Amino acid sequence: MPPRKKKDVKPKPLKAVLWESADQLRGTLDAAEYKHFVLGLVFLKYVSVAMAEKRAQLESGLRDGSLLASLGLTGVASEDLIVQTVEDRRQYTGAGLFYVPPNARWEVVMERARLTLEGESLGEVINGAMDSIEKVNPALRGTLPQEYNSPRVNETTLAGLVKLLDRLEFQSQVGEDGMRAGARDLMGEVYEYFLAQFALAEGRKGGEFFTPESIVRLLVEMLEPQEGERVLDPACGSGGMFVQAEKFIEMHEGNRFNISVYGQERNLTTWRLAKMNLAIHGIEANLGEEPADSFHEDQHPELKADVVLANPPFNISNWGGERLGMDPRWTYGVPPVGNANFAWIQLMVNKLRPGGRAGIVLANGSMSGKSGGEGDIRRRMVEDDLVACMVALPGQLFRSTQIPACLWFLAEGKGTRHAEWIKGRVGEVLFIDASGLGTMEERTLRELKAPDIERVASTFRAWRGVLGAGAYADVPGFCRSASLEEVRSNDFILTPGRYVGVAEAEQDPDAESAEAKVERLTKELLLLFEEGVRLEAAVREQVGRL
């Protein structure tokens, strides 16, 4: 009897595999822990596939002779040269990829999962793979999870998970030029997925890990980071802000590698996630020597950045403000101990170079709250002409919180000392009410689409006086440029709805004029009066007959 033909296993899209991976781990780990366990394996598969793709490209180029010239050789490549070249770490790192040692490659992990490799347990093999990758890739040192030999997850469950993740499909990661192609925000996607599926298990802590991509894109489109600039995120989470900044520079024909990235994150797991995420994208980032709190253990004390952007945790009360007192960073006033919103704002302002710019996601209460001196701090910031633009966001943009949010855009020395970013807007603030934008993707989740982002960003560009952006004009119900005097008359409340007014009703070209409408309604009213008199006479007549 002939052997049974092996059934082809088709690759699966990311979300389908992640859902099945949760099924594999259910009952073994808590829902909130799934992502930490799966994340390292997704990373291992991802970098192994990228290396295999580059390896095949190198081998093909050597065999057909197209790569020999670049190596300074002629003729036919020997088998020894081919083996030597495809195992040369520099061939991969020079292309923006990771070199994965032989013992750490996905196929080795799969062999052990299929029980075709004797020796160490599967958990030990995976831990060894992570350790080997870290040793040959300094950017990943101390980053990759190595907890796969835990008694909490048995060998059978782990093998099933590895086999499942083997079915993940990835886009091509190597371009025709042999260099790394633009990678997805894969680590962020994995985290977002688990946050969405297990939001109740995560609670509000989930907001520490992932900022919705549409909000990040809007921040980046508004701030427009340029190559050669220093970009800082003091609450960097999974590093998504930096990924979008890189994409923006590349889309505008800049050199995505010519950007200095600085971040800080206090949560160890999230700090490791950010390092993995940025490493996948080939972004060299300084995230500090260790995970640390930006308020109390500044990892970049001397840094002055061109661009600061962040989505810090909303309204946190346990930030240790009582230990900071008269900190020199509190330029506009001591923030309340019970709410860190204005501590975050002032920390970021302190990190700006002269003429620098910042974009910050905060809870709506930051625009109008007065408790604990917040109103006075906000007043001093406005009076100093620091506030450039306020954007009210639509609700339901975040999976992990329903707190409505807004965007603050700050320009150090706006129009007075440094006019690089904003021209001719001394003593003005742009208010944009974007609360009506976005599309509901799920019952409780809204997303800003590309036209929404472009509408807000192009309005800001026009207001800033960017060449080619067109003339700015107020749009009732959407945007308005208000003077500091007007803001002062509103007691320094920065809620856009106070300034933009109500949208004008669309005019129907076929609608009757106001004069014609009054004339028509008057005639109808007089006819009703006449009908009333007639009915009254008829009723009297009937009553008289009784």
Q: How high is the pLDDT of residue 203?
A: 45
Same domain, 148 and 197: no
Considering its fold, how many domains does the chain have in total? 2
- Examine residue 524 and state whether it is found in any structural domain, yes or no: no
- Cβ pair 218, 454 in contact under 8 A: no
Q: How high is the pLDDT of residue 375?
A: 96
Comparing CA positions, the residue from 506, 510, 503, 516 lying closest to residue 474 is 503
Alpha-carbon distance 450 to 462, whole Å? 18
Q: How high is the pLDDT of residue 532?
A: 79
Alpha-carbon distance 543 to 229, whole Å? 92
Same domain, 136 and 218: no
Same domain, 197 and 147: no
Element holding 442 (H helix, E strand): strand 439-442
- Examine residue 166 and state whether it is found in any structural domain, yes or no: yes
Other CB atoms within 10 Å distance of the CB of residue 248: 19
Same domain, 358 and 289: yes
Same domain, 138 and 108: yes
Q: Tell how far CA 488 is from the center of its chain.
A: 33
What pLDDT tens digit does each residue of the chain (546 aa) get?
A: 455 544 555 556 677 777 777 777 776 776 666 777 788 888 899 889 889 988 998 888 888 877 776 666 666 678 888 888 889 888 888 887 889 999 999 999 999 998 766 678 999 999 999 999 999 988 788 888 888 888 888 888 889 889 988 887 776 666 666 665 655 556 566 666 665 565 445 444 444 456 788 999 999 999 999 888 999 999 998 788 888 887 788 777 776 667 889 999 998 878 888 888 887 777 888 999 899 999 999 999 999 999 999 999 888 999 999 999 889 999 999 999 999 999 999 999 999 999 999 999 999 999 999 999 999 999 999 999 999 999 999 988 887 677 789 999 999 877 566 557 888 899 999 999 999 999 998 887 888 999 999 999 999 999 999 989 999 999 999 999 999 999 999 999 999 999 998 876 555 555 677 777 787 888 878 888 887 788 777 778 777 776
Q: What is the domain extent for residue 266?
A: 191-500
Comparing CA positions, the residue from 288, 283, 254 lying closest to residue 270 is 288
Q: How high is the pLDDT of residue 298?
A: 95
CA torsion, points 73, 76, 80, 81, in degrees to nearest 10? Answer: 30
Task: Report residue 2 as tokens.
Answer: 């002939």
217: domain CATH number is 3.40.50.150
Same domain, 175 and 207: no
Q: How high is the pLDDT of residue 377?
A: 97
- Examine residue 282 and state whether it is found in any structural domain, yes or no: yes
Q: How high is the pLDDT of residue 151?
A: 83
Alpha-carbon distance 98 to 274, whole Å? 16
- Examine residue 535 and state whether it is found in any structural domain, yes or no: no
C-alpha distances out from residue 500 to 390, 473, 488, Å: 11, 12, 16
Of the residues 500, 515, 537, the one at which a domain ends:
500
Report the chain's mean pLDDT, rounded to a whole number: 84
- Cβ pair 166, 80 in contact under 8 A: no
- Examine residue 1 and state whether it is found in any structural domain, yes or no: no
162: domain CATH number is 1.20.1260.30
**Percent helix, percent strand, percent coil in the chain, to nearest 5:** 45, 10, 45
- Examine residue 145 and state whether it is found in any structural domain, yes or no: yes
Q: How high is the pLDDT of residue 410?
A: 96
Q: What angle do CA 203, 207, 211 make, to 5 degrees?
A: 150
Same domain, 166 and 255: no
Same domain, 144 and 121: yes
Residues 6+ positions from 180 with CB-CB distance below 8 Å: 50, 95, 96, 97, 173, 174, 282
Same domain, 361 and 467: yes
Q: How high is the pLDDT of residue 507?
A: 54
- Please report how the helices 240-251 and 268-280 are oriented relative to each other, as an axis angle in degrees rounded to 10: 20
- Examine residue 347 and state whether it is found in any structural domain, yes or no: yes
- Examine residue 521 and state whether it is found in any structural domain, yes or no: no
Of the residues 136, 153, 181, the one at which a domain ends:
181
Biggest CA pair distance of the chain = 125
Q: How high is the pLDDT of residue 296?
A: 96
- Cβ pair 363, 394 in contact under 8 A: no
Alpha-carbon distance 138 to 414, whole Å? 41
